[in-house]
Amino acid sequence: MKRFFVTLLALLLCSTLSLAACSVLNPQATSAPALETATSPIAPTQAATLNVTVPVPTQVPPTPTVIQGTVIIWHSWNETDVAVLAEIIDQFQMLYPDVQFDVLYIPVEDLRQRYETAVREGAGPSILLGPAEWVPLLYDGGVVADLSTLVDPTLAESLSSAALGAGSYKGALVGLPYSQRGVVLYRNPNIVVRAPESYEELVELGQENTAGNEIGAFLERSFFYGGAILNGIGGLLMDETGYPAFNNIKGVEWIELLRNYDLAGPISFQTDQDLELFKEGRVGMIIDGTWNMNTISETLGAENLMIDPWPFYQKGALSGYVLPDLVYVNQRGGPQDQSATWEFVKYFLSSEAQATMARTGRIPARLDVPLEDPLLAQALKALQGGTTYPVVPEMAAYPVAMDTALKSVFEDGISPAIALQAADQSIRTALDAVKATASPTPTTPTPMP
């Protein structure tokens, strides 16, 4: 399961590397000019006699804004999820009855390609619901709008920062998160009673609760499941150009921390052994993805499962990568349709709609959503301490090089500094080769008015 998910993610990113690694975009965001109202001074008048009553102007209520238009949505949601989407649309139409909807299901393997083709032909939907991994391809292909000028601070602050960060690319806001998934720390409270507040306590609890057939902690330390810790403790994986920024003291500290995982108990490296033993009720703590949350809960029992916030480590904390699903907006359509589309996007990200969506098991991207499911609430809190998984094209050069470096330390005893230097050189060589042949003039998307 782990290897399949990581391999799929790597393939998605590899498909973007040659297309966009050398692109230089400077989208020109536009905004409507401020409306100015001209006023003329009016001299005050006096009543001729004290018997004259000056009339009080009648207060006329403002005319409500009527939103009209058609919102077309393309998605790959299953039947259960679509029923919830229909409910959200019904809720929206109670507020805006003049807005019509056209919703189309397309298999996920065909969704992006059909969307790109339709938009280039001057058609396509108003909204595309898809993974964050599509950001570079859609933006560099010029088929999505830049939402930077539309999102106000209140909306941005209501969303998970790690999830929101995945939609940012080349200075544009390509998509907005409506749900999220990521790497978290699972715990069986029957084995480890309390959540570790620090990394040192995690190690202690792992040791103290290992006895007989039970293991206190069985931690995963491959790059995908442990890479975000580098950011959590104050380091960086890459710089703004996509080139390595990990080959330094913080990088060494990160690898040393991962190497010491074995102090807490057995370790995993791209295997499912930790997950399977956890589902059997034999392990107290594991690091795994929220995409396995429902399976674990069904097998182990919801009452035997908790998701904890990431423990502190010195001045930082452990962390896990976060990958959201995004709302992408097509710039096509007339003013009415665009206005209706944006109103629906805002409602789709509202607390009410996000709570409705959570009934499908999706973890909301909005932070203030009241959740009935305690496990979803725990996952939402844990992902707040997560790190945005870099969906930039350059990321395709990192996983294999970083896992090779980690293995050389854990299995062959190579110095972390030497391993990082080797990974740095390997990634730079790969990026140089791609950037030398990449097209320098991609299509620039139109900012959303």
pLDDT in tens, 121-155: 999 999 999 999 999 999 999 999 999 999 999 99
In contact, 381 and 309? CB cutoff 8 Å: yes
- Residue at 175 is within a domain: yes
The token pair that represents 338 in the structure block: 């665009």
- Residue at 77 is within a domain: yes
Nearest residue to 221 (alpha-carbon basis) of 402, 391, 396, 392 = 402
Q: Which region among 22-26, 224-228, 338-342, 356-360 has the lowest average model confidence (pLDDT)? A: 22-26
Given pLDDT bands bounded at 50, 70 and 90, which one contains residue 108?
very high
Domain around 107 = 67-180+322-388
pLDDT in tens, 87-102: 999 999 999 999 999 9
Domain count, the chain: 1
Given pLDDT bands bounded at 50, 70 and 90, which one contains residue 334?
confident
pLDDT at 449 over 60: no
- Residue at 254 is within a domain: no
- Residue at 277 is within a domain: no
Given pLDDT bands bounded at 50, 70 and 90, which one contains residue 437?
confident
Separation of alpha carbons 144 and 129, rounded Å: 12
CA 224, 222, 186 angle in degrees (round to 5)? 75
User: Biggest alpha carbon distance in the chain?
Assistant: 103
pLDDT in tens, 214-243: 999 999 999 999 999 999 999 999 999 999
pLDDT at 435: 85
**How large is the average pLDDT for residues 147-175?**
96
Name 401's Cβ contacts closer than 8 Å, sequence gap at least 6: 423, 426, 427, 430
Pairing of strands 316-317, 312-313: antiparallel
pLDDT in tens, 268-313: 999 999 999 999 999 999 999 999 999 999 999 999 999 999 999 9
In contact, 289 and 181? CB cutoff 8 Å: yes
Given pLDDT bands bounded at 50, 70 and 90, which one contains residue 320?
very high
* 146: three-class secondary structure by DSSP: strand
Q: Name the percent of the chain lying above pLDDT 90.
A: 80
CATH code, domain carrying 100 = 3.40.190.10
**How large is the average pLDDT for residues 260-264?**
96
- Residue at 329 is within a domain: yes
Separation of alpha carbons 133 and 137, rounded Å: 8
pLDDT at 2: 61
**How large is the average pLDDT for residues 383-400?**
97
Name 269's Cβ contacts closer than 8 Å, sequence gap at least 6: 220, 221, 222, 406, 407, 410
pLDDT in tens, 183-195: 999 999 999 999 9
Q: Which region among 105-114, 288-297, 365-374, 435-444 has the lowest average model confidence (pLDDT)? A: 435-444
**How large is the average pLDDT for residues 353-375?**
96
pLDDT at 56: 46
pLDDT at 335: 78
- Residue at 89 is within a domain: yes
Given pLDDT bands bounded at 50, 70 and 90, which one contains residue 430?
very high
Pairing of strands 168-169, 175-187: unpaired
- Residue at 424 is within a domain: no
- Residue at 93 is within a domain: yes
pLDDT at 7: 52
In contact, 159 and 135? CB cutoff 8 Å: no
Given pLDDT bands bounded at 50, 70 and 90, which one contains residue 54?
very low
| Whole-number CA gyration radius for the chain | 26
pLDDT at 13: 55
Name 145's Cβ contacts closer than 8 Å, sequence gap at least 6: 329, 330, 331, 445, 446, 447, 448
pLDDT at 1: 61
